[in-house]
A and B are shown apart, each in its own frame.
Chain A
Amino acid sequence: MKRYLPILLVLLSGAFLVFQYFVPHETSEFVYEYALDWAPIIGIFAMTLGLVSLARVSWSRVRKREANWPYALVTLAGLASILVAGLWPGGGGLQAPVVAWEYSYLMLPLSSTMYALLAFFIASATYRAFRVRSVLATLLLLAAVIVMLRFFPLGPLTGPIGGMADWILYVPNLAAKRAILIGVGLGVVATAMKIVLGIERSYLGRD
């Protein structure tokens, strides 16, 4: 029962949503909207589980003094301060001064810094990776350089370089991306069907 009830629920929900997509009747729209109301509520429970799990894992690392345990302590402190400030009665929720301060003076500069570092790693990676080792590597290098050069004011060459960059983006890039997208799409449909039909059951866990 513990195993078959979730499978039955998934089968019924999946089958209904497929049916509903093709039959936009008033009744099915009503049930669909009701389901959309329910889904975030279920999601919030999943989020709570995630929160509890994060707190437990971090606390365990601090207690056992595992490698890099101070980072776990910082995680716990951040979690606690945001939760207390955000949930404090009459504190202002998202607009609470502590939440706003942590967001503006910790979250914002830290996130921006992490993303900015990407430029340095890309520069270093291109230096090492773009070598004329083979025909394919040369093609990759040329494509990258042409796409980068389209930003440059190159006088009479600006137009032709821009045209070549557009061709790279609209023809080979588009063909490759489309092939990947179609593959991913078919994979998603196959996986969804396996889950709805109860063939794929890994989401149930090991028990």
Chain B
Amino acid sequence: MSIWEKMFALDRRWVFLVLVVALLVSLKIPFRVSVPISNEARSIHDFVDHLKPGDVIHLAMDYDPAAMAELQPMMLAVLKQCFEKDIKIVMTALHQYGPALAAATIDTAIARHEARTGVRKKSGIDYAYLGYQPYAILIILGMGQNYRIPFPRDYYGVPLDSLPMMAHIQNFRDVKAVLNISSTNATDFWIAYGNGRYGVPLAIGVTGVMTPEYYPYLQTGQIFGILGGLKGAAEYETLVGTPGPAVDGMKGQIVAHAVIILFIIIGNIGYFAVRRGKSARAT
């Protein structure tokens, strides 16, 4: 087998090995990647930035541990911005594997905010975490009527009516926007029912592979911003002024993309060489 034929039909285990080595090296070598900010990310940041203290935003955290690497930094950056601006948060987790993760995420954000400012955000006053209920469509429709229909109690078992911040919050009319950070089709339901039926302004943060799906909704104005995958998370970390795991992760992402492009080139060189060899033999 010639070298060209080997390049054409490379065992995929070599691809795996090169990718692992490249990723490990990229994470070890200290270098920084510049993160250009897209209009889609900036529009979400500016929207939150222009809210007044006391305004309410609904954070719908609809992802599971599988998508944590991409979406968790995004969520923490948004929570940081909201806490710093004293924006009140209603939070739900409509993925069956998400509620415990959402509780841990909000605890992390509270601890970081306390470490930075000395102020501890309190459940029921600064935020209300409602938890999980099955059948996302029905839950979104229910919350559009009244949060108390699907969530008579919050995640910690406290009746919603006894949470001070929920006293003036009935449904989506009382929140400024929904920011849906998701790895599931719950995003489609938020667009169709949250925005479509109840008209609540909506922005989304989704995994990299999901991102191109949602550009049509951005153009029609059904969503006012998209955070796409790790890059979206890195953009938001940069916008809120705390570059963290997403900005660091961009090193690995860039190196992985470079490796993929390299293999595409190798595969095509092999393909042309083999094809030329075949046509030469035929003549």
A131→B271 contact, CB < 8 A: yes
| Contact partners of B67 in chain A: CB under 8 A | 115
Per DSSP, chain B at the interface is: helix
Closest chain-B Cβ to A170's Cβ sits at a distance in Å of 6
Interface assignment of B189: CB less than 8 Å from any CB of chain A: no
A interface list, Cβ under 8 A from B: 21, 29, 32-33, 36-37, 39-40, 43-44, 47, 94, 99-100, 103-104, 107-109, 111-112, 114-116, 119-120, 122-124, 126-128, 130-133, 141, 145, 148-149, 151-153, 158, 162, 169-170, 173-174, 177-178, 181
Which chain A residue lies CB-closest to B135? Answer: A43
B15→A181 contact, CB < 8 A: no
Q: How many A-B residue pairs have CB under 8 A?
A: 132
A7 to B268, CA, bound (A): 57
Closest chain-A Cβ to B254's Cβ sits at a distance in Å of 5
Question: 20 A–B contact pairs at CB < 8 A?
Answer: A21-B197, A29-B145, A37-B142, A40-B133, A43-B135, A43-B138, A115-B69, A119-B256, A120-B20, A122-B260, A123-B16, A124-B15, A127-B264, A127-B266, A131-B271, A132-B268, A151-B253, A170-B215, A170-B219, A178-B216
- The interface centre, meaning the residue of A29, A32, A116, A120 with most chain B CB atoms within 10 A of its CB, is A120
A177→B215 contact, CB < 8 A: yes
B213→A177 contact, CB < 8 A: yes
Cross-chain contact of A40 among B134, B254, B266 (Cβ < 8 A): B134
B:239-282 near A, CB below 8 Å: 250, 253-254, 256-261, 263-264, 266-268, 271-272
Interface assignment of B146: CB less than 8 Å from any CB of chain A: yes
A107→B16 contact, CB < 8 A: no
Which chain B residue lies CB-closest to A119? Answer: B256
| Contact partners of A107 in chain B: CB under 8 A | 65, 97
B69→A116 contact, CB < 8 A: yes
A127→B263 contact, CB < 8 A: yes
Given the known interface contacts A29-B145, A100-B100, A120-B19, the answer about A158 and B36 at a Cβ–Cβ threshold of 8 Å is yes
B:28-59 near A, CB below 8 Å: 33-34, 36
- The interface centre, meaning the residue of B149, B259, B260 with most chain A CB atoms within 10 A of its CB, is B260
Given the known interface contacts A40-B134, A108-B65, A141-B264, the answer about A127 and B15 at a Cβ–Cβ threshold of 8 Å is yes
A112→B68 contact, CB < 8 A: yes
Which chain B residue lies CB-closest to A32? Answer: B145
Given the known interface contacts A40-B133, A126-B263, the answer about A152 and B254 at a Cβ–Cβ threshold of 8 Å is yes
A178 to B261, CA, bound (A): 28
A112→B65 contact, CB < 8 A: yes
Closest chain-A Cβ to B192's Cβ sits at a distance in Å of 9
B15→A103 contact, CB < 8 A: no
Given the known interface contacts A94-B99, A174-B216, A177-B216, the answer about A153 and B34 at a Cβ–Cβ threshold of 8 Å is yes
A111→B64 contact, CB < 8 A: yes
